[in-house]
Structure 1
């Protein structure tokens, strides 16, 4: 066994206390699922390295850094350099996992990801915290448009996990994929919900989590967790909600989505923790239109504006992505 392997932690480390959880009171959580999954994976994959732009504690990469300090690179507040260095390491046979905030990857380092990584199909995994409305710090930290920005980039796979259970499974899955990946990251004490449904992540596959005859909710990321909670609320009103989870945004599993949307008589709602412009909703709408499928269609997502700062529960309800707000909106549409 290597020296690096002997340093791997034997217990699951927790995240920084400065990171607030998006979990509801009393909801089950798991600490730093990405960081812990990466450490476990690195035991078997010595080519894995971790890089960050001064944000190890805030992307859960500090757990990997503690376990494998000789395989960890702190690049400072220089996201363009971060992406270029990852590209160079990938060219030499390493498997870089790069972390930063989603706003910095999408807005500040886009050209470097495009030219240095995606165009060359390099095996770099870009894992970014604070996707959508998961920060109360306002527009400087809220990556409400990151999927819209990256969907147009060729060769780039985009993944938006829903909870800790899925993050733990998606991490080795994206490592096994040959090519660049952008994964949105829920960090810290991340809620658990998909394990209750026996869910297994498969890259590129959308999966039905629960069935229902009245409404089809096609969702991704945090919105899937909220959609499942809203479905439980609506069940009390005898409203049956089917939830189809599309964790992989690109390539999108249109075959599964169109088969579900084509079942007549149901309201089709796309729910996402992202602006309604350029995300999953528009991708699904375009796919249905091209296929000649025209159900009643609505979107739940963030508005096309810069969002306010404040407490996350208040903001989620204000902008319509809390479970209660989703349930209210679906009731209103029926």
Structure 2
């Protein structure tokens, strides 16, 4: 069996910026002293005159991006998720969100898989924070193919977009004929009648692996990839709820305020359905190898399979 190709979505982000930069002269990239880690350094080498390093001044960087956008440029503002969503939240809300400016936030190193950097850098609150800003689109791509497509879609979208990318290399799962990305539209990766797993980001690959394991046990699992957390594809979620009757959500984020709560809100108002949320259970992470941390916090195919078995019983 051929080895599965793995790429960190932050790498995909850097490469996608270069490809877009060749086509669009109005695209500029801003970074906060982390170009090597966020991979905007790839763009910097290709277009040094369109890359701006603001040092460790994330709030200032957001305000500068706002100004650039009013001058006809399309800024991609990049730093770690903890700094983009956390440290600069006020500027993102008031300077980008309130006037609905055309600025894209490329937030890397999101979630527990930041690993050894520890709790201070493991941002598991960014979906919740960004979802609260009116008009903000929130995207969490699952692999290299989807990340590249998401960057392109964000450029084409008129308004603020928050894109979360990961540090850890993840399997490429969307390199298939006919793949199509659309903001706000989820994807059915696997059909099933017994239960639905709705996943985002690196948890999509884990959900697929869990579904394979469960299929061998006679449990038919539908897997939805919800790359756009806001706006949520409510039509797809409701269809799955009505047809399978049970839902499990999976995300590399706190169970409070993220994909799971978005799905629960949708179902509570339209189609009450039993739901189990898999994510970080209202706690901080800690330093350690990314793969080990994901397993410890239940962000794995094994844990998804365990929860599905409990629900089906």
Tell me whether 1:79 sits opposite 2:39 in the alignment. no
Shift of 1:141: 0.6
Determine the C-alpha separation between the residues in 1 that align with 2:65 and 2:162: 13
Residue in structure 1 matched with residue 133 of structure 2 by the alignment: 153
Shift of 1:152: 0.8
Residue in structure 2 matched with residue 28 of structure 1 by the alignment: 5
Determine the C-alpha separation between the residues in 2 that align with 1:326 and 1:186: 20
Shift of 1:104: 0.7
Deviations 1:134-187 (A, max 9, x none): 211221111111111111111211111011110011111110000000000124
Shift of 1:93: 0.8
8 Å contact from structure 1 (residues 160, 249) kept in 2: yes
Residue in structure 1 matched with residue 98 of structure 2 by the alignment: 119
Determine the C-alpha separation between the residues in 2 that align with 1:199 and 1:100: 29
Alignment partner of 1:98: what SS?
A: strand
8 Å contact from structure 1 (residues 60, 188) kept in 2: no
Determine the C-alpha separation between the residues in 1 that align with 2:132 and 2:261: 13
1:313 to 276, 286, 291: 291
RMSD: 1.6
8 Å contact from structure 2 (residues 250, 277) kept in 1: yes
Bigger drift between 174-183 and 205-214 goes to 205-214
Shift of 1:189: 4.3
Determine the C-alpha separation between the residues in 1 that align with 2:249 and 2:175: 22
2:182 to 191, 202, 217: 202
Deviations 1:208-257 (A, max 9, x none): 11111111011111111211111112112121110111111111111221
Tell me whether 1:100 sits opposite 2:79 in the alignment. yes
Determine the C-alpha separation between the residues in 1 that align with 2:39 and 2:167: 6
Q: How does 1:218-297 map to 2 (within 5 A)?
A: 218-264=198-244, 266-291=245-270, 293-297=271-275
8 Å contact from structure 2 (residues 111, 166) kept in 1: no
Determine the C-alpha separation between the residues in 1 that align with 2:38 and 2:95: 23
Determine the C-alpha separation between the residues in 2 that align with 1:166 and 1:257: 20
Higher helix share: 2
Q: Name the CA shift for 1:157/1:116 in 2 (closer, same or farther; >3 Å).
A: same
Determine the C-alpha separation between the residues in 1 that align with 2:85 and 2:260: 19
Q: Name the CA shift for 1:35/1:190 in 2 (closer, same or farther; >3 Å).
A: farther
Shift of 1:332: 3.1
Alignment partner of 1:58: what SS?
A: helix
Deviations 1:92-119 (A, max 9, x none): 1111011100011111100011111111
Residue in structure 2 matched with residue 64 of structure 1 by the alignment: 43
